[in-house]
Structure formats: C-alpha cells, structure tokens
Amino acid sequence: MLLLFMFIEARKNRLTKHHIKFNTFPKSVGSLSIFFISDIHRRRISTHLLEKIPEKVDLVIIGGDLTESGVPFSRVEENIKLLRKLGPTFFVFGNNDYEVGKNELEALLLKHNITILNNSSTSFTSANGEKITLVGVEDTSKRRDKLHHALEHTSPSEFKILISHNPDIQKKVHPKDGISIILSGHTHGGQIRFLGLGLYEKGKLHYLENTVLLVSNGYGTTSLPLRLGAPAEANYLVLSSK
C-alpha cells in the first residue's frame, strides 16, 4: 500500500500557485505570469496539469532536466510541443540533460523555437521603456554556470529573473547583481521523505535577504518512480508591483 501511495504521489499533476509582489517590478508592465516546470525526466506532461493553469501564460520556463539518458527523443518532443503551445518558452540545462548530448537536445529545442539560455540573458521592454530580463545559467553541479557572463549585457535598472536548475546558484548571487527572483528545481524536494526528513528540503519559496528563491519539487523523478512527502508539481507564478 505504501509503494502504491508513493507511485501515485510521483504521478500527481499538482500546480502550485504564487503571487509575488516586488517594489522593483516595472509598473508599466502590470503583471507577468509564468508557467515554470523543472525535472520532467521520464514523465509525459499531462493535459490534466495544463488545464489547471488559471489564466494566460506570458512566459513558459523549463528549469532543466527536461530529459535524461534512455528517454526517447519522441517523448521529449511531445512534451516540448505541449509547453510551446502555452506561450514563448525558455530553457536552461540541468545536470541530466547533458546525458542525451547537448548539441542534439539544443537542435530539438531550436526546431520548436525555444530560447536556450546558456549563461546568457534576454530582455522584454514595455511601452514605457522598462525592462524585464531573463538571466539563465547552465548547471552549477557540472560547473558550467557562468553568472558573470549571463549578466554582461544587463543593467541595474532592469527587473531580473534568474533561472538556474540548481538552487545553489543563490550562493553566487550578490546584491549588486540586482536579481529579484531565482527559479530552480533539481532537489525534487527530497523526493522521498520520512517523518518530514529527506536528503533535501521540501520545495518552497524562500524570502532571502536580497532576492526571492523558488525551489520546485519538480514534475518527474529520478532513479525510482516514487515520491513520499514531496508530491510532483509544476508552478504558476504571477509577478507584479506592490
């Protein structure tokens, strides 16, 4: 019975919603809605998950571990197609993504017009000239992250969203970088937790001194297709000004 429960937890289509307000958010933008999904691994994205999205999606962000060794590219492509239908889509590499070949995965993503943030940034400008900038780094556990390169073409006045598969990137973020929020996954929330304890903390929002950090439980699993105390999830965020 416990194994069955753990299997069900791993197959959940839970959408965790957050509305976060910032003093620095561009008032001329109004609000920004983001569908964030990480750690898909071997799962097929369910339409039951996408049907839970309450409103429009301005941006779709894939926070790494879209796939792993042994996953058919046809499955990855079907997942990509579903996500791309929601809106403009952006991707950062996770540690398991490199297992399938970086060039091959990049070619598939580019085929479907998905923007890859390899230690780089991209900006959106409002009619009033205010900017929102997505900053993406490669995986920190593989020592491929180069935050300083990703920030090269940004300015202090921009509202910056940092995307990193591994939440450890927060240790490298300085106040002068002006990062308002970090979106990450990787830990699976510990994946299997007993009596509230796990290898990693359960996914949640962390209000740090100089930024906000989201660590998602992630949508898929690694090693075992089981979860306990850290149900599978994707995240829907609305960012706005205070």
Domains of the chain: 2-85+93-241 (3.60.21.10)
Query: What is the Cα–Cα distance from 113 to 124, expressed in whole angstroms?
Result: 17
**Residue 220 structure tokens:** 């898929």
Angle subtended by helix axes 102-111 and 73-84, to nearest 10 = 40
d(CA 125, CA 130): 5
Chain centre distance of CA 234:
9
As a three-state string, the secondary structure of 2-34 is HHHHHHHHHCCCEEEEEEEEECCCCCCCCEEEE
Pairwise CA distance, residues 87 & 90, whole Å:
10
Tens of each residue's pLDDT in the chain, 242 residues: 889 999 999 999 999 999 999 999 999 999 999 999 999 999 999 999 999 999 889 999 999 999 999 999 999 999 999 999 999 999 999 999 999 999 999 999 999 999 999 999 999 999 899 999 999 999 998 899 999 999 999 998 899 999 999 999 999 999 999 999 999 999 999 999 988 888 899 999 999 999 999 999 999 998 899 999 999 999 999 999 98
Q: Is the pTM of this model over 0.85?
A: yes
